[in-house]
Amino acid sequence: MKKYNPILILLIFVQSIFVLQAQQVAKSTFGVFALTNATVETVTKGRLENATVIIRNGKIEAVGTNVTIPADAQVIDCKGLTVYPGMVDSGTHLGLQEIESISVTQDYDEMGELTPEMQALTAINPNSVLIPVTRVSGVTSVIASPSGGLFPGTAALINLEGYTPEQMYAGFKAIVMNFPSTGRRGRYDRRTDEDVKKDSDKAIKKLNETWDRVKTYAAIDSSTNGKADYNPQLAALVPVYRGKATAMIEVNKESDILTALKWIKENKIKAILTGVDEGWRVADSIALSGIPVITGPVISQPTRESDRYDQGYKNAGLMHKAGVKVAIRTADAENVRNLPFNAGFAAAYGMSKEDALKAVTIVPAEIFGVADKIGSIEVGKDANIFVSTGDPFEPATQIKQLFINGWHVPLESRQTLLYEEFLKRSPGVTKEQVPGKS
Amino acid sequence: MRNIIFLSLLFSFSLVGGQVPTGDMIIRKGTVLTITKGTLTETDILVQKGKITAIGKVLKAPAGTKEIDATGLFVMPGIIDAHSHIGIDAVNEATNPITSEVKVGDAIDPFDLSIYRALAGGVTTSHAMHGSANVIGGQCQTIKHRYGLMDPSAFIFKDAPRTIKFALGENPIRVHGEGRGVQPRTRMGVERVIRNAFAEGQVYRDKMKAYELEKVKNPNAVPPVYNERYQTMADILDGKIIIQCHSYRADEILMLLNVLRDFGVKKITFQHANEGFKVAPELATFGAMASVFSDWWAYKFEVYYSTAYNATILTRNGVVTSINSDSGEMIRHLYYECAKTQRYGGLSDDEALSLITINPARQLGIDDKVGSIEIGKDADIAIFSGNPLSVYAVPLMTIVDGIIRFDKENDPSDMRIYIDPEEATPAYYGREEVDECMRGTDQMFNNRH
Amino acid sequence: MKRKYFLLTLFVFGFTAGIIAQPVSEDLPQITGCIALINAKVISAPGKPMQVETIIMRDGLITDIGPRAKIPSDAYRIQADSLYAYPAFIDAFSSIGVKNPESDAPRGGPQGGPGNRDRNNTRPSVDEEGNPSLEDAGITPFRSVRPSVDIKEKSIADWRGQGFAIAHIVPKGKMIPGKGSLIVLSGKETGQLFWKEDVSMFAQWSGAGDNYPSTVIGIMAKWRELYHNASQDLVQQTSYTNATLVPRPHYNQAHEALLPVVKRDMPVYFRAPKVKDISRALALQKDLGMKMVISDAEEAWYLKDQFKTGTIPLVLSLALPEDKSENKKDKAEAKAEAKEKNDEAKAEKKDTVNTDPEKEEFEKKRAQSLKEHYAQASVLAKDGIPFSFGTLSGKSSDFTKNIRLMMDNGLTNDQVLSALTSQPAKLLGIEKNCGTIDIGKMANVIVSTKPIFEKDAAIRYMIVEGNLYAYDEKEKKKVQGKESHSASTPSSLAGTWSYTIDIPDQKKEGTMEFIEKDGSLTGTIHSSDITSGNNELESIVLDVDAVAFTFDFEIEGQLMVIEFNVKLKGESFDGSVTIADVGSFSITGQRMSKPKN
């Protein structure tokens, strides 16, 4: 375990305070950057020592041990530090939720069971206080996903930098679907077994009826050259029906997963399974289907009282071992920053560290079809990069530099600002508050 | 076969002679994180009758003492959670803003699987708290995780000081002001409720004192109507009970400090205290302590202006600080929660681990018995595969009073003790979140903590 | 509140289909005050050998017994050569004959519950706030069970038909519902049932909902406060009587009522079914020192060491957990499924239900737990721990089935009989009068066709304090006879029916609709009382003219199962509606329309 001198860390912060005072508000900057003397964790092409990464026009221009530093580059010496591709959280409410208990700050659950046409991207708040808190941990992209109901809406992949949702959009959308569940929602779900079954039968029936309508609608749409009656719900599902759009299907219970796999196969849907809490029970079937999985939070309780205590931690690793393509998510909003630690727990309980890193970088990029843009340090990719003092899964590691889409993002959030203000509060205790003086 | 023997040892159904079981063992050659006396490499710990009796290199143990090889492993004191609600069946008696007379220790649930899962995270002691529905909630119970015993009283941490839950801010306001239509409906009202309760406690204490005096002279003296609610308030005034106050905002923390100063009450730990960092100098000056989350925030408005650097700022300002779980999920990995203070403020290893060992022990008044590896202390010990502050460290074995209560290698997967005779297959439960602190009020309210 | 009461009044339906004893001529006048049971095989007490004897009973007492007892000329003679006679059962803890509480009147005053407080009157006084009236708090130790007893309650005849002559009954309610009484299960009017009033205090872990105390921790604290204050009152009352210059004791109805408990004159029957309920009640007893009887226990074996000293008597529940094993169901379903799937592609992964080792392990554990519950009584008996049985949570229709289950799990004939006669007699302090067949004892005798706990044994006569109740066995045969050719009799349930449920002081009305499709029946219930989403009737069974079904109703998170058992009589039906823990009520119905074909 590496230790860090707190004084050194203090010094670093003191420096950043100076910077702050100089420019008042820290803004991201764009330009040409050379990260030199670095260890580079490319993810896809191994680990490079003493290497250089050049960032230009928002892209990675060069990576290697033998790179000429352009004259116009701002050089950042990364000696002793490691360069990583930005991490991707494959399922969050980030940008769609500000304060969990205040419903007017929640924009992920629209009225109705069947609202696939709802666009998460529309409701992303680029100025959410939660976003800087998240990205300073090295998480640079997330899936912002609607939830609730059978088809809650369309999720979007966003980068955690930008002044408008369009600037943040990272090139992937998917229709979200909650596969009908035969399980209980939680320990406080007091429905009887019969009611649970009844509700899920109803939901399956509704799903199949909906799909029949989508089929018919798609047929009419084809035969009328796109002149079918206006119906935004069905229209939103047609691309999924035709295999042109992806469905992110939330399913968790063992038997539900099998049912979902069957349903996906029968309807020939391009799907990603999400949640998949009990995936370890049917890992072989999932592997056989070839359908990728987004699972998490890894740091979670088992789904059944009879399960071994660490089954939640092990789930991702067991699925991976069976041959499932696994990405990791937090399913969080304010604490998406714990994504690396979730990957770390997966690594502590059976996944290799390398695979755990892939599960938050290149694997989600591949699943979302954006592996040409993000997920690794390779020439030509978007410059989503962070530089750290070491393994980002280790809590003690510090993040030192952050680039999103080539923007050099200040490592600042409301939480760091409060730290700087209050570590040594001035004034401290006033006389009136000393005991005996009141 | 080993499992069966282990189980039969573990699941004894009654206490022999009213004594909790203790054990002997020697833990060999571990890297011992004593917390209070540094880190000792390749060191042995001798345990006899549930106590640590020797620490050193190549210790001799009486013949037949159970040996545990900890070569290459990290040995630390059993983790202590200063705020949880596991192991009890009732959390909130949410029918009155003041319920100082109720005791969650009356509702211990020996079958709660969360106790076992906490053990599997190295946690040997937790502070089972009343919830935060009431301004002055019930008395809490410090418990030891002796999972496998059936007798509820076997879980009680012997001679732990009494503690009581107070709660400020949104929760009591929602339950009583908004939900039941009585004071308090504001933070002003919260202060009033507390002042009233202390004042009633004073009056009651005076009446009792007068009666005790009168009784000496007059055998027919009439005692005041017995009232455990006021008696408890009087006990707080007399320093017999440590206040554990659910709080978030800086202003409400200052309010309570002022009230306590007026009534001469000194023992207080602020629970959660998300804005404790803003008033760290005041807390330090008062001698108040703080038990906080590692990084929870933004789940309601009063925690919007939080920072994960809270524990660091408090520690640097000299406030005795701990990190707690308030959750049956999080209690399983407090070692990782405290490690986050190394990311958010760079605490040293000992500082970080103190947040889940000796500091919560101080806050609960049990630091003379647990919280560090020292001779004479209870043999509550957690053994990890690596440095517990590393995300890759895995808890391997947890020992309470010298008895192995969790053993990763040998535990069967299904650790339920009580089996419902009418439930064929254990139910699947989704991950809908539950507010532990508000348990018992969940029909009315739906948010966390 | 209305909705809740509807629910509370509808819980489990007694299975009248399998009726063993059908009373005859119950309302006819008694011919004579003397009964001679001639040459019966008599088991006079648990453990006593069977002897052929004649029992003479007069004016409610056993006046003579012996092989050659003289038969008085005015005796009603029962030739009992082929019959068996046992002392009638004593129910140690029950609510036989107890009506449900009246529906709650709207509560007033400043403690009127949540949401209806006057804004100008909200200043909390520390002691008043959340200390609701004793009634609202469910603390009514001053209440006797008597006013809530009604001779018309079906449970009296039901349990008498199972062999019970005496019962210790307790009122319904919350934390401390009130005082229990001893009743004799015979009489023409309610008052005649009573033998001894106010013999016990009844307590349980039932919170007062929105009012204090609502949880187990509140109840514990409240008990401590009540007990201490009652103790103080006791001391002060003595001082007040004996000395001057002592103020008059502050009067509190609850403290006053608890004085006999504090004096240890009156035992507290603490209802504690589950192991945690029991350990908490024991902790309370240890703390306060009252005389306590752990009652309605289902899981006492866990804590059997604590009962070995015999200082805390035990009343075991006659309710047993149901075997909900999926085995039977699964097999049937699996077969059906297999048939369906037979032609489907075999590439599909085979159903793993039958070979899943995890599931087998669960099944083993559950079966073990079930067995432990069934073996509670025998385990305690083996350790020499005395116990009685109480019917509070039991259903009369399950009585013999459950007794046999316990016997299958090790309980002996004598142990059962003892727990139903001599033990409860001793517990209730009536062993001089009841519990055996001896001269001078109350004439409480069961006359059965076979040894009483044997399979197919039926009660032919019940004699309760000299009153004779005869049961006709033919009734059962008749039903069986019909059953044999029932398959060919088509049902005529389909259609819409109106119904009326007779609940004391009110009638609940509504309609039920049954649809028959492909040989299976579905049904729905419609009533202004039912406001929750579910209105589907379940487990509908039609057997010739006997119809049984259930209806699940959720209220405040708690599931209530309402069982219906009715008999079709052409265009009308009648029968009963049962809710466990609550009671049975009669129901009648009329056909409104038939389905269109």
Q: For residue range C432-448, list pLDDT tens digits in order.
A: 999 999 999 999 999 99
Q: Which amino acid is at C13?
A: F
Kindly state the average pLDDT of the residues B252-263.
98
B104 contact residues in C (CB cutoff 8 A): 217
Question: Rounded to an integer, what distance in angstroms lies between the CA atom of residue B406 and that of residue B116?
Answer: 8
The pLDDT of residue B423 is 79
C358 contact residues in A (CB cutoff 8 A): 306
For residue A121, give Cα distances in angstroms to A153, A160, B195: 10, 13, 50
Length of chain B: 449
Question: Rounded to an integer, what distance in angstroms lies between the CA atom of residue B177 and that of residue C43?
Answer: 67
The dotted CATH code for A87-374 is 3.20.20.140
Q: What is the residue-wise DSSP string for B72-106?
A: T-EEEEPEEEEEE-TTBS----TTSSB-TT-BGGG
* C552 lies within 8 A of chain A by CB: yes
Contact between chains at C217 and B107 (C-beta distance less than 8 A):
yes
In a domain, B116, yes or no: yes
CB-based contacts of A230, cutoff 8 Å, min separation 6: none
C276 contact residues in B (CB cutoff 8 A): 89, 109-111, 152
For strands C84-87 and C34-42, give the pairing: parallel
Q: Which of residues 111-140 of B touch C (CB under 8 A)?
A: 111, 130, 138
Contact between chains at C538 and A195 (C-beta distance less than 8 A):
no
Distance from C331 to chain A by nearest Cα, in Å?
18
Distance from A281 to chain B by nearest Cα, in Å?
13
Contact between chains at A299 and B393 (C-beta distance less than 8 A):
no
The pLDDT of residue C92 is 98
Kindly state the average pLDDT of the residues C95-102.
87
Distance from C362 to chain A by nearest Cα, in Å?
9
| pLDDT-derived band at A12, boundaries 50, 70, 90 | low
Contact between chains at B434 and A186 (C-beta distance less than 8 A):
yes
The angle formed by the CA atoms of residues C379, C384 and C385, to the nearest 5 degrees, is 75
Distance from B202 to chain C by nearest Cα, in Å?
13
Q: For residue range C384-434, list pLDDT tens digits in order.
A: 999 999 999 999 999 999 999 999 999 999 999 999 999 999 999 999 999
Question: Rounded to an integer, what distance in angstroms lies between the CA atom of residue C416 and that of residue C453?
Answer: 9
Length of chain A: 438
In a domain, B74, yes or no: no
Burial of B127 from C-beta contacts in 10 A (0-12 / 13-18 / 19+): buried
For strands C268-271 and C292-297, give the pairing: parallel
* C124 lies within 8 A of chain B by CB: yes
Q: Is B249 helix (H, G, I), strand (E, B) or coil?
A: coil
Out of B296, B391, B427, closest to residue A395 by CB: B391
Q: What CATH number does residue B251 fall under?
A: 3.20.20.140
For residue A291, give Cα distances in angstroms to A245, A259, A288: 14, 14, 8
Out of B93, B138, B228, closest to residue C214 by CB: B93
CA nearest neighbour of C124 among B225, B167, B166, B176? B176
A306 or B427, which is more confident:
A306
pLDDT over 80 (residue A365): yes
The pLDDT of residue C25 is 53
A194 contact residues in C (CB cutoff 8 A): 538, 552
Q: For residue range C506-528, list pLDDT tens digits in order.
A: 777 888 888 877 767 788 888 77
pLDDT over 90 (residue A54): yes
Question: Rounded to an integer, what distance in angstroms lies between the CA atom of residue B317 and that of residue B310?
Answer: 11
C30 or A84, which is more confident:
A84
Using CB atoms, list chains with 3+ pairs below 8 Å to chain B: A, C
Q: Which helix (H) or strand (E) holds C475?
A: helix C474-484
Question: Rounded to an integer, what distance in angstroms lies between the CA atom of residue C261 and that of residue B91?
Answer: 30
pLDDT over 60 (residue C22): no
B153 contact residues in C (CB cutoff 8 A): 283
Question: Rounded to an integer, what distance in angstroms lies between the CA atom of residue A258 and that of residue A244?
Answer: 23
C372 contact residues in B (CB cutoff 8 A): 421
pLDDT over 70 (residue B10): no
Nearest CA in chain A to B346: A6
Sheet with B321-323: strands ordered across: B79-84, B123-128, B136-144, B162-167, B241-247, B268-272, B289-292, B321-323
Contact between chains at A195 and C534 (C-beta distance less than 8 A):
yes
CA nearest neighbour of A414 among B347, B317, B290, B274? B274
* A305 lies within 8 A of chain C by CB: no
Kindly state the average pLDDT of the residues A49-70.
97
Place of tokens 């029946």: C521
Burial of C10 from C-beta contacts in 10 A (0-12 / 13-18 / 19+): buried
Distance between start and end Cα atoms, chain A: 47
| pLDDT-derived band at B215, boundaries 50, 70, 90 | very high
The angle formed by the CA atoms of residues B166, B168 and B171, to the nearest 5 degrees, is 105
Q: For residue range B58-81, list pLDDT tens digits in order.
A: 999 999 999 999 999 999 999 999
Mean predicted lDDT score pLDDT of chain B: 93
The pLDDT of residue C549 is 85
B397 contact residues in A (CB cutoff 8 A): none
B106 contact residues in C (CB cutoff 8 A): 216-217, 220-221, 280, 283
Bond before B110 cis per omega within 30 degrees: no
In a domain, B183, yes or no: yes
Contact between chains at C349 and A258 (C-beta distance less than 8 A):
yes
The pLDDT of residue A432 is 56
The pLDDT of residue C250 is 81
Instruction: Please answer whether residues B3 and A308 qualify as being in contact, where contact means their C-beta atoms are separated by less than 8 angstroms.
Output: no
User: What residue ranges do the domains of chain A occupy?
Assistant: 87-374
pLDDT over 50 (residue C482): no
C129: left (phi over 0), alpha (psi -120 to 50) or beta: beta
Kindly state the average pLDDT of the residues A322-338.
98
Question: Rounded to an integer, what distance in angstroms lies between the CA atom of residue B151 and that of residue B13?
Answer: 7
Q: Is C10 helix (H, G, I), strand (E, B) or coil?
A: coil
ipTM, two decimals, is 0.94
- Residue B325's domain comprises 79-366+433-438
pLDDT over 70 (residue B159): yes
Question: Rounded to an integer, what distance in angstroms lies between the CA atom of residue B131 and that of residue B107?
Answer: 13
The angle formed by the CA atoms of residues A233, A237 and A241, to the nearest 5 degrees, is 155
Q: Which of residues 69-108 of B touch C (CB under 8 A)?
A: 89-90, 92-99, 101-104, 106-107
In a domain, B402, yes or no: no
Question: Where does A24-69 have alpha helices with state H?
Answer: none
The angle formed by the CA atoms of residues A311, A316 and A321, to the nearest 5 degrees, is 105
| pLDDT-derived band at A422, boundaries 50, 70, 90 | very high
Length of chain C: 597
When mean pLDDT is compared across A28-32, B48-52, B90-94, C486-490, the lowest value belongs to: C486-490
Distance from A190 to chain C by nearest Cα, in Å?
6
Q: Which residues pair with C139 in a beta bridge?
A: C176
Q: Which of residues 328-387 of B touch C (CB under 8 A)?
A: none
pLDDT over 60 (residue C126): no
Task: Name the CA radius of gyration of chain A, rounded.
Answer: 24
Question: Rounded to an integer, what distance in angstroms lies between the CA atom of residue B154 and that of residue A248?
Answer: 49
Instruction: Please answer whether residues B372 and B357 qualify as being in contact, where contact means their C-beta atoms are separated by less than 8 angstroms.
Output: yes
The pLDDT of residue C524 is 84
- Residue C222 — φ and ψ, nearest 5°? -65, -40
The pLDDT of residue B18 is 63
Kindly state the average pLDDT of the residues A158-175.
98
B398 contact residues in A (CB cutoff 8 A): none
pLDDT over 70 (residue B229): yes
Contact between chains at C559 and A194 (C-beta distance less than 8 A):
no
- Residue C369 — φ and ψ, nearest 5°? -60, -40
Contact between chains at B415 and A309 (C-beta distance less than 8 A):
yes
- How many CB atoms within 10 Å of residue C239? 19
C376 or C24, which is more confident:
C376
Q: For residue range A247-278, list pLDDT tens digits in order.
A: 999 999 999 999 999 999 999 999 999 999 99
Pair of tokens at residue B185: 């409906």
- Domains, chain C: 2-18+491-589 (2.40.128.120), 23-88+435-471 (2.30.40.10), 92-101+129-209+267-324+358-429 (3.20.20.140)
Instruction: Name the percent of chain B lying above pLDDT 90.
Output: 86
A414 contact residues in B (CB cutoff 8 A): 305, 307
* C322 lies within 8 A of chain B by CB: yes
Contact between chains at B14 and C303 (C-beta distance less than 8 A):
yes
Q: Which of residues 169-188 of B touch C (CB under 8 A)?
A: 179-183
Question: Rounded to an integer, what distance in angstroms lies between the CA atom of residue A357 and that of residue A339?
Answer: 10
Kindly state the average pLDDT of the residues B420-435.
74
Q: How many domains does chain B have?
A: 1
Kindly state the average pLDDT of the residues A164-182.
96
Long-range own/partner contacts, residues A9-15 (CB < 8 A, 24 or more apart)? A9/A398, A9/B345, A9/B346, A13/A419, A13/A420
Torsional sign, CA C57, C63, C65, C70: negative
Contact between chains at A190 and C349 (C-beta distance less than 8 A):
no
Contact between chains at A285 and C349 (C-beta distance less than 8 A):
yes
pLDDT over 90 (residue C487): no
In a domain, B110, yes or no: yes
Mean predicted lDDT score pLDDT of chain C: 82
Burial of C484 from C-beta contacts in 10 A (0-12 / 13-18 / 19+): exposed
The pLDDT of residue A427 is 87
Question: Rounded to an integer, what distance in angstroms lies between the CA atom of residue A14 and that of residue B315?
Answer: 19
pLDDT over 60 (residue C216): yes
pLDDT over 50 (residue C115): no
B443 contact residues in A (CB cutoff 8 A): none
A253 contact residues in B (CB cutoff 8 A): 428, 430
| pLDDT-derived band at C579, boundaries 50, 70, 90 | confident
Place of tokens 């018992």: B440
| pLDDT-derived band at B7, boundaries 50, 70, 90 | very low
| pLDDT-derived band at C531, boundaries 50, 70, 90 | low
The pLDDT of residue C20 is 39
| pLDDT-derived band at A189, boundaries 50, 70, 90 | confident
The pLDDT of residue A9 is 54
